[in-house]
Amino acid sequence: MDNRKKIQFKYPAGEKGKKYTLEFSIGILRRMETKGKFKVGELQDKLLSAPVTLFDLSFELNHADVPESTRKAIFDQFTRYSEDSDGESTLTDVLGEMLNEVIESMNPSGNLKWRVN
């Protein structure tokens, strides 16, 4: 889990801001799916709200106590690209990559060979 992408920042910006680390986990995604707050299959159908939804969900692992209104205010303050970005990966891209990393980690990783007939 430690090698998965995370978004880190201080809010409000500056020395006195609180440190945040946003990330996803299998447990969080399962819990949110069970509660009906998140469905992977609906993301492509809801392209306009997907970035905000993913950003909101990324708080659940480490900062579940942050109110939705604060999450929205933070989202609105973000720049399109990270300060270490090459100008090609947007916040939406990174959130999608973070989600995909968790989904990929759910695949079995053993060495039992199998085939489809």
- Here the tokens at position 86 are 């090459």
Strand partners, 35: none
Residue 100 has pLDDT above 90, yes or no: yes
Domain count of the chain? 1
CA pair distance 24, 9, nearest whole angstrom: 16
Q: Is 111 a member of any domain?
A: no
pTM, to two decimals:
0.84
Q: Which domain holds residue 72?
A: 7-105
The answer to whether the Cα torsion of 54, 1, 90, 9 is positive or negative is: positive
Q: Is 49 a member of any domain?
A: yes
Alpha helices, DSSP H only, in the chain? 26-34, 50-57, 68-77, 91-105
Interval 71-90: pLDDT, tens: 999 999 998 888 887 777 89
Residue 14 has pLDDT above 70, yes or no: yes
